[in-house]
C-alpha cells in the first residue's frame, strides 16, 4: 500500500491571519485585525442597529396596529351585515295586503258622529226627557243640549264609542291634508312659499288641537267636571273656527288663477258657506248663553242648545267636504323593502 500525503494550502485569509504585526498593534493584545474582519464587524453592527430600530418601531406601533386591525374587522362585519340585510330585503316580495277607498273611509268617519248624535237626541228626548232638560235656572226648555243628551246613560257610552272610532281616522287624515297641500306649493311664486308653508303647519296644529278637544269634551262630561268641560269646549270652538278660516285662506292662495275642477269648486263653496254658518251660530250661542246664565230667561237654554247643534253639524259637514278633496284616492297596506318602495314612489308624479 502506498502512503498518501495530503497537503493543505493556506487560504489568503489564513495567510493574512498568520502575518506578524508590528509591535504596538492589535496583535500585541491578542486581537488580529484584517480587512474581512472589519467588514464583518461593520455588517454585524449595522444589523444590530437595524434590529434595534425594528424592535423600537414594533414597540411603538404595536397598540396602534392592533387598534387599526380591530377597526378593519368591525368595518368588514358591518359591510357583511349590510350585505345580508340587503339580500334579505331583495328576497321580500312586493305585495298589497289591504286596499280601501279613502273616499269611503272619509264618508264613514264624517257621518259616524252625526248619526250617533241624532240617535242620542231621539232616545234621550223620548225616554229621559226630565233628565236632559234639567238646568240650574229651573225654567222651561224644550231642546236639550249636546252635553245633556250625551251625558246620560246609556247614551254616553254610545257617544264615547262613536267618537273613539271617529278620532282614529281623523289623525292620519290631518297629515294627509298636510301632504296634499304641500304638494301644491310648486305652483306658487317663490315669495309665497314660506308664508304658505307656515299656514299649512298652522292648519295641521289647529286640526290636531280640535281633535284632542273633541275627545276632551266627550270623555269629561259637564256632570262630572263642569269647569274643565267648559274650558275644553271653548278651546274646541276657537280651534274649529280658526281651522275653517285658515283652510279657506289657504285654498284661496293655492287656487289663485287656477282652473278648478267641479269637485274643487264644490269643496271651496261649501267650506265658505259652513264657515259663515258657524260664525253666525257662535254669535247666537253666546247671546243666549248669557241670557240663560245671567237672566234665566225662558227658552234661552233651548236657543243656546239649538245654536250648539248648528255649530256641531256645520263642523261635521265642513270636514265632510273631504269627499270632494279626495274623490278617487285609496289607502294601501303594502309589503316590500323600504328602499324599493321609496324608489318606486319617487318615480311617480305627485299631485299639483
- pLDDT score for 24: 42
The phi, psi pair for 330, rounded to 5°, reads -130, 150
- pLDDT score for 293: 85
* Per-residue pLDDT tens digits for 136-175: 777 888 989 898 899 888 999 999 999 999 999 899 899 9
pLDDT at 28 over 60: no
Report the chain's mean pLDDT, rounded to a whole number. Answer: 78
Task: Name the least confident of 180-189, 221-230, 328-337.
Answer: 328-337
- pLDDT score for 89: 52
All cell numbers assigned to 128: 229621559
pLDDT at 333 over 90: no
The CA distance from 134 to 214, in Å, is 24
- pLDDT score for 30: 40
Of the candidates 234, 219, 120, the one whose C-alpha atom is nearest the C-alpha of residue 167 is 219
- How far from chain centre, in Å, is Cα 174? 13
Return the number of other C-beta atoms located less than 10 Å from residue 278's C-beta.
23
In angstroms, the Cα distances linking 190 to 136, 200, 245, 267 are 57, 16, 24, 26
Share of the chain above pLDDT 90, in %: 41
Task: Name the least confident of 87-101, 204-218, 220-234, 294-308.
Answer: 87-101
Q: In terms of residues, how long is the chain?
A: 352
Contact 247, 271 (CB under 8 A): yes
What does the CA dihedral 309, 311, 316, 320 come to, rounded to 10 degrees?
130
The residue among 74 and 211 whose pLDDT is bigger is 211
The CA distance from 166 to 168, in Å, is 6
- pLDDT score for 208: 96
The residue among 242 and 153 whose pLDDT is bigger is 242
The residue among 328 and 144 whose pLDDT is bigger is 144
- How far from chain centre, in Å, is Cα 81? 26
Q: What is the mean pLDDT of residues 213-233?
A: 90
CA angle 198, 277, 292 (to 5 degrees): 110
Q: What is the mean pLDDT of residues 319-338?
A: 83
Return the number of other C-beta atoms located less than 10 Å from residue 231's C-beta.
15
* Per-residue pLDDT tens digits for 342-352: 776 666 545 44
The CA distance from 246 to 227, in Å, is 29
Measure CA of the first residue to CA of the last residue in the chain; give whole Å.
122
Of the candidates 305, 255, 265, the one whose C-alpha atom is nearest the C-alpha of residue 284 is 305
In angstroms, the Cα distances linking 27 to 13, 17, 19, 133, 134 are 16, 10, 10, 136, 135
- pLDDT score for 80: 67
Q: What is the mean pLDDT of residues 26-36?
A: 41
Amino acid at each position: 500500500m502506498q502512503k498518501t500525503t495530503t497537503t493543505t494550502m493556506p487560504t489568503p485569509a489564513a495567510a493574512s491571519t498568520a502575518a506578524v504585526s508590528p509591535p504596538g498593534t492589535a496583535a500585541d493584545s491578542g486581537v488580529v485585525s484584517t480587512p474581512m474582519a472589519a467588514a464583518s464587524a461593520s455588517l454585524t453592527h449595522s444589523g444590530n442597529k437595524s434590529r434595534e430600530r425594528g424592535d423600537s418601531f414594533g414597540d411603538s406601533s404595536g397598540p396602534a396596529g392592533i387598534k387599526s386591525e380591530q377597526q378593519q374587522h368591525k368595518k368588514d362585519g358591518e359591510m357583511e351585515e349590510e350585505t345580508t340585510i340587503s339580500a334579505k330585503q331583495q328576497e321580500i316580495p312586493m305585495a298589497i295586503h289591504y286596499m280601501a277607498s279613502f273616499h269611503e273611509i272619509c264618508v264613514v268617519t264624517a257621518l259616524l258622529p252625526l248619526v250617533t248624535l241624532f240617535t242620542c237626541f231621539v232616545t234621550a228626548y223620548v225616554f229621559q226627557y226630565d233628565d236632559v232638560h234639567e238646568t240650574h235656572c229651573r225654567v222651561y226648555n224644550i231642546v236639550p243640549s249636546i252635553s245633556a243628551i250625551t251625558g246620560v246613560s246609556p247614551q254616553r257610552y254610545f257617544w264615547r264609542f262613536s267618537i273613539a272610532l271617529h278620532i282614529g281616522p281623523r289623525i292620519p287624515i290631518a297629515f294627509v291634508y298636510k301632504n296634499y297641500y304641500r304638494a301644491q306649493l310648486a305652483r306658487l311664486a317663490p315669495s309665497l312659499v314660506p308664508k304658505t308653508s307656515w299656514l299649512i303647519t298652522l292648519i295641521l296644529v289647529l286640526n290636531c288641537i280640535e281633535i284632542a278637544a273633541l275627545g276632551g269634551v266627550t270623555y269629561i262630561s259637564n256632570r262630572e267636571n263642569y269647569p274643565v268641560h267648559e274650558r275644553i269646549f271653548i278651546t274646541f270652538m276657537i280651534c274649529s273656527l280658526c281651522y275653517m278660516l285658515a283652510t279657506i285662506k289657504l285654498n284661496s292662495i293655492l287656487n289663485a288663477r287656477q282652473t278648478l275642477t267641479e269637485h274643487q269648486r264644490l269643496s271651496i263653496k261649501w267650506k265658505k258657506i259652513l264657515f259663515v254658518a258657524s260664525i253666525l251660530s257662535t254669535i247666537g250661542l253666546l247671546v243666549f248663553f248669557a241670557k240663560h246664565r245671567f237672566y234665566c230667561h225662558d227658552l234661552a237654554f233651548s236657543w243656546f242648545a239649538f245654536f250648539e247643534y248648528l255649530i256641531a253639524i256645520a263642523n261635521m259637514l265642513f270636514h265632510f267636504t273631504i269627499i270632494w278633496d279626495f274623490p278617487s284616492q285609496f289607502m294601501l297596506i303594502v309589503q316590500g323593502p323600504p328602499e324599493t318602495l321609496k324608489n318606486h314612489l319617487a318615480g311617480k308624479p305627485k299631485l299639483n
